A and B are shown apart, each in its own frame.
Chain A
Amino acid sequence: MNANRKTSAYLILAACLVLTVILCVSYIPMWKYDLIVPGPGVTKVAWLSDYVPELKGSLADTRVFILEGQEPGANILVLSGHHADEPGGWMSGMVLVENAKVRTGKLVVIPQANNSGFTHNYPQEAHAQFINIPLSDGSKRRYRHGSRTGNSAEHWPDPEVFIQYPSGQKLSGDEVRNLNRAYPGRLNGTFTERIAYGIQMVVRKEGIDLQMDMPEAQPEYPFVNAASAHPAAEELVSLASLGMQTHDLDLGVELSPATFRGLSNREMGDAVPGLFAVTMETPNTEQGKIRGITDDLLAVEGQDAFYVAAAKLGNLFVPYDEGGWPLKRRVGRHLTSFMELALALQDVTGKPFEISNVPDYYDLVANDVGHYLNPVTDNEKVSDPGYQSYPGIWRLFSKAGS
């Protein structure tokens, strides 16, 4: 009898190993950096580790695209991908990198600010690991669809209570891996605080005037289709809200609360004198808690019958019909907000910023996102770092080492 149980134990152990191998094969491709095809406006592709060398070889390292005009002017930083499960945000950064041309001033784009978050999925959300975007040439681009927080394999254990630095505010333990609670960051802090510190160095070294952050939120969340601004950016974001109305788009505005710490707009606005820091939010159905089937199509098409019913009952903070909130509408809103903020920045500071080739909301709705992604074939500017860095002990085997 015991001998039989020994046999079953070893069989189950073997099954565990097989399961582990299957899961490894499934997860490891998420360590590979997404392919990006920079457009003609990109003058330099840097890495976060160029600003903070201590990040080299870790999953914290991410690409920093610089689009510099011929004349000096205002400098704008677009931060997207704080949360890798908010594709409307990071896809907006990608579209800017692949299309925008700057004539005056400088645009810095970090499309995947928390690269570590792109290397795994958020537990119990059943999100797809990858999403596919059809391009106008018939091909498809595949992107990682990650998690709100960084990879726990790189940064663990989570504390019971996360004490935010430097405010000392207490937040739930897993927020220790949330980049948008880690600002302003510190070099000798947690893994996520080191990323935030890297971004702070980008802001300082590039002389950024306006920092725009592009997250998403559940349709039932009160703060959505809205902008949150550091108090110093109040006038700027109010002007942008008026500008959005010229496109028939509503943009709610609120000031970032002084009692909610760690946010990019609040902390960076406090830390860097003269910086205008703003966060924009669009509705993302797949983050919502009353959604139905959750697959890769939901991330792109954003249609869900439960949300249509919830809207009819008046339970949402955004209009929601059978068309839902597809990626093209969310990216369109973010990019139109970006253009209006850039215009407002010129009005407020007098610093010129001229940019072209940025599609607006109606362009995106008409042509879809794939129309604004460059084909990969025969393109010499493709940025495809592949497997650049790995979590934990695997970092020893990464290209850069550490």
Chain B
Amino acid sequence: MPPTYVIVMALYTALTAYILYLVISNMTRSKDVWEQIMAVFVIVPLFMRLIFIK
């Protein structure tokens, strides 16, 4: 049985993947290019977290 913090971290990783999916799908639907550019500030950190870099 892994420690509790590892289980919680796994659950949050799944949540991060879902939020990343929502952000990217909204970005591709957006008609405002500035809104799309601003998404970079969300996508890059979430992606870094999803792959356990930072």
Q: Point out the residues of chain B lying under 8 angstroms from A157, CB to CB.
A: 8-9, 12
Residues in B whose Cβ lies below 8 Å from that of A353? none
Main secondary structure of the interface of A (DSSP, over half): helix
How many Å from the CB of B42 to the closest CB on chain A? Answer: 9
A306 is an interface residue with CB less than 8 A from chain B: no
Interface flags for B11-53 (1: CB within 8 Å of A; 0: not) read 0110000000000100110110100110110011001110111
Residue on A nearest B49 in the bound complex, by CB = A153
Whether A153 and B54, one on each chain, are in contact in the complex, defined by CB atoms closer than 8 angstroms, is yes
Given contacts A19-B44, A24-B48, A393-B52, are A9 and B36 in contact (CB under 8 A)?
Answer: yes
Residue contact B54 to A27, C-beta cutoff 8 Å? yes
What are the residues of chain A within 8 A of B37 when measuring CB–CB?
12
Question: Interface residue tally of chain A, by bracket?
Answer: 35 or more
Residues of B within 8 A of A390 (CB): 52
How many of B's residues come within 8 Å of A, CB to CB?
26
Main secondary structure of the interface of B (DSSP, over half): helix
Give bound CA distance, A191 to B6, whole Å: 9
How long is the Cα–Cα vector from A9 to B52 in the complex, in angstroms?
A: 25
A392 to B44, CA, bound (A): 18
Check B44 against A12 for contact (C-beta < 8 Å). Answer: no
Contact present for A28 and B53 (CB under 8 Å): yes
Contact B52 A23 (CB under 8 A): no
Q: In the complex, how many angstroms separate the beta carbon of A182 from the nearest chain B beta carbon?
A: 12
CB distance B31 to A2 under 8 Å? yes
Query: A20 near B48 (CB under 8 angstroms)?
Result: yes
Which chain B residues border A17 with CB–CB below 8 Å? 47
Binding site for B on A (CB under 8 A): 1-2, 5-6, 8-10, 12-13, 15-17, 19-20, 23-24, 27-28, 120, 151-157, 188-191, 194, 390-394
15 A-B contacts (beta carbon < 8 Å):
A1-B31, A5-B30, A9-B27, A12-B39, A16-B40, A19-B40, A20-B48, A20-B51, A23-B44, A24-B48, A151-B54, A157-B9, A392-B52, A393-B51, A393-B52
